[in-house]
A and B are shown apart, each in its own frame.
Chain A
Amino acid sequence: MSALDAVLANGRPAQGHRPWPRVEVDKATWQEAADRLAAGGLTLVSLWGDGHSVHMAVRDEADNRIAVLTLACPDGRYPSVGARHPPAIRLERAARDLYGVEPDGLPDTRPWIDHGVWGVSRPLNPSGPAAPIARGYEFLVAEGEGLHQIPVGPVHAGIIEPGHFRFTAAGETIVRLEERLGYVHKGIDGLMAGATMAEAARIAGRTSGDSTVACAFAFARAVEAALGMEPPPRGVWLRALMAELERIANHFGDIGAICNDAAFSLMHAKCGALRERVLRYANAAFGHRLMRDRVVPGGVAADLAADAIAPLRALLALIRETFPRLVELYDNTASLQDRTVSTGILSAELAQQFGAGGHVGRASGRAFDARRALAYPPYDRLAFDVPVLDEGDVNARVWIRIREVEQSLGAIDQMLASLPDGPLATVLPPGGGEGAAMVEGFRGDIFCAVRIGSDGRIEWCHLRDPSWFQWPLLEAAIEGNIVADFPLCNKSFNCSYSGHDL
């Protein structure tokens, strides 16, 4: 019996949750699932609350099946998963901050996204027991002769999102990094509850700006699963085309920015030009540079005009002409390689334990890519490779991006060759339901779970950005590196703040 079946066998299946089962479990089964997460048979997909229960999505490592476990907690308490499986700790801290569900045995009882300034505690569980508003925050200690702390943020020197990094260093060498996030928490879970479908789709596309297509894609697929419908073929293919354009644009931006953090501005300038060309194409073809609000539940909101196909082929040809030269430049510049090779190594064990997605996981030997593992349409009909490397350093994370750009170009070729005609979107049927979906963004797998009421409004929606499982690993990867290499390591991860803070 597989790890997932062993857990599901003890649960009571909930009706109407698609496409994966959701089962209501007792505390013993919940803890058994936590043990199986710790043993590695299952991988944590997400953990969230809804005011009455806690939900945990898990994936079976053997066959990629996903299931959602629900534990009712009428007294507001449940056995902590993080006590047995550390990747759940921050999710449990966040769920407690928002919903007031208390994880018994949680090793880290500090708040996470609640900084004590909302004027309300447990904002999404007003009926629960009142809690004092917490203030102050104790960072973890590192003790030793000559150690000093460097606080950085929330406002950083560059044009990036806010977050706080607390370094403890011995001379130049980092002994401990601790992140403090939550600065851009906008209360998205709260805004989603009660929102109309159109409002919710707009919010989903604004959880993480660089992944606006992927987030909207994940939300749309979760809604479509809940309502038991499929978008028309052309809508499916155009979504994937936008998703691949977004992936390529972001990878160009990242490759250039990583090189820039190693003071090699030539790559930054060249990659920035390629990124700009992709965005300009997106604007010309779909009417928005980032293709925001173009993926909607039921299909897409913008068509690819017939006269937009030739410019796309020209763009692909230009990338194929110029990008290999940049890759060669990257590979042959010793001063750049000196900075990226063997810097910020993430072990394969940690990547696997945390279920790290995207370039972070795939540069450390974890081959998971939702496009391949779950083969959601139209990726079930596209041929592409999932590049994987074992080195786990900054260099490997750059190479994963390079290889993924190449694979995405091939995927777009195939899409252009077989783009179906027909309508762009299907009208959503009335009624409600529960659904979940996972979509591969440029940063990794984005998970979305949604419950829709019979009036068609969102009852709750949970969006889990891949950064949840990547941020903690940055703390591990940076240990033993010098402070000056932090920007390089950080950019090679490129975790989202907004997608994480919600």
Chain B
Amino acid sequence: MRRTLFENLIRPPLTESAPAEDPEIAALAASLKAAARARLGRSLAIREVDAGSCNACELEIHALNNVFYDLERFGLHFVASPRHADVLLVTGPVTKNMREALERTYNAMPAPKWVVAVGDCALDGGCFARSYAVVGGVGAVIPVDLYIPGCPPPPLDILKGLLALMEAA
């Protein structure tokens, strides 16, 4: 372990922060910082709910926390309870079996609050829309502020989407 920790000290980070390496993320970061600070100080707390997804969107949301994207440096972080959240990130077509849980999670959040629907299924139910077991997109159950399309959207698109929300909010 000592060797690994020592190398971590002397090697450059994997996090893609320098504008020269990835100007898109750097631009996002600067812009997100300004908008988030104005509205919510330095941080935005996100609660994620899978309302019926196939789990692919969750995998890409997870990736936001890996060392390449390192979501928390932007002041965005995931929280365990809707009571601590500013943003509800919802994936999946909303199944009838999850409808009540989604509504209760939304109702448990304090205002001001925003809802971001992630993925093609969250938009309109996607390829599951015509099922007896599916209500439809997230917007059929709770008010949605922003849709991030994709099947699943790659992590950078989700990051961009959160930025767009901050600009609009």
Q: Is the CB of B55 within 8 A of A161?
A: yes
- Any A CB within 8 A of the CB of B50: yes
- Any A CB within 8 A of the CB of B145: no
B53: chain A residues at CB < 8 Å are 161, 184, 209, 498
Q: Is the CB of A190 within 8 A of B132?
A: yes
A212: chain B residues at CB < 8 Å are 54, 56
B34: chain A residues at CB < 8 Å are none
- Any B CB within 8 A of the CB of A308: no
Tell me the bound Cα distance from A280 to B51 in angstroms: 27
Q: Is the CB of A206 within 8 A of B54?
A: yes
Q: Is the CB of B98 within 8 A of A183?
A: yes
Q: Is the CB of A273 within 8 A of B66?
A: yes
B81: chain A residues at CB < 8 Å are 157
Tell me the bound Cα distance from A206 to B93 in angstroms: 12
Q: Out of A120, A186, A266, A329, which one reaches B52, CB within 8 Å?
A: A186
Q: Is the CB of A329 within 8 A of B133?
A: no
A:127-173 near B, CB below 8 Å: 154-155, 157-162
Number of A-B residue pairs at CB separation under 8 A? 146
Q: Is the CB of A292 within 8 A of B56?
A: yes
- Any B CB within 8 A of the CB of A75: no
Q: Is the CB of A186 within 8 A of B67?
A: no
Interface 9-residue window, one of B25-33, B37-45, B123-131, B160-168 = B123-131
Q: Is the CB of A184 within 8 A of B97?
A: yes
A154: chain B residues at CB < 8 Å are 98, 101
Q: Out of A118, A159, A199, A210, which one reaches B133, CB within 8 Å?
A: A118
A159: chain B residues at CB < 8 Å are 48, 50, 58, 61-62, 78
B82: chain A residues at CB < 8 Å are 155
Q: Is the CB of A210 within 8 A of B97?
A: no
Q: Out of A123, A157, A203, A208, which one reaches B55, CB within 8 Å?
A: A208
Tell me the bound Cα distance from A155 to B48 in angstroms: 9
Q: Out of B66, B68, B127, which one reaches A202, CB within 8 Å?
A: B127
Q: Interface residues of A toward B: which range?
A: 35 or more
Q: Is the CB of B66 within 8 A of A209?
A: no
Q: Is the CB of B134 within 8 A of A209?
A: no
- Any A CB within 8 A of the CB of B9: no
Q: Is the interface of A mostly helix, strand, loop or mixed?
A: loop
Tell me the bound Cα distance from A117 to B131 in angstroms: 13
- Given A120-B132, A266-B4, are A209 and B67 also a contact pair (CB < 8 Å)? no
A161: chain B residues at CB < 8 Å are 50, 53, 55, 58
- Given A186-B52, A497-B55, A498-B55, are A158 and B151 also a contact pair (CB < 8 Å)? no
Tell me the bound Cα distance from A290 to B53 in angstroms: 15
Shortest distance from the beta carbon of A171 to any chain B beta carbon, whole Å = 24
Tell me the bound Cα distance from A329 to B93 in angstroms: 41
As a 0/1 sequence over residues 177 to 212 of chain A, the CB contacts with chain B under 8 angstroms (1 = contact) are 000001111111011000000010011001111101
A498: chain B residues at CB < 8 Å are 53-55
A113: chain B residues at CB < 8 Å are 97
Q: Is the CB of B56 within 8 A of A183?
A: no
Q: Is the CB of A117 within 8 A of B68?
A: no
Tell me the bound Cα distance from A113 to B4 in angstroms: 46
Tell me the bound Cα distance from A206 to B92 in angstroms: 11
Residue of A nearest to B151 (CB): A292
Shortest distance from the beta carbon of A262 to any chain B beta carbon, whole Å = 14
Q: Is the CB of A182 within 8 A of B97?
A: yes
Shortest distance from the beta carbon of B140 to any chain A beta carbon, whole Å = 14
Residue of B nearest to A257 (CB): B62
Give A contacts to B, CB under 8 Å. 113, 115, 117-120, 123, 154-155, 157-162, 182-188, 190-191, 199, 202-203, 206-210, 212, 253, 266, 269-270, 272-273, 275-276, 279, 283, 289-290, 292, 325, 329, 332-333, 496-498
Q: A272-B65, A275-B66 are in contact. List 18 more A-B contacts (CB 8 A).
A: A118-B132, A118-B133, A119-B132, A158-B80, A159-B61, A183-B97, A184-B95, A186-B131, A187-B134, A188-B131, A191-B130, A206-B128, A209-B58, A212-B54, A279-B63, A290-B152, A497-B55, A498-B54
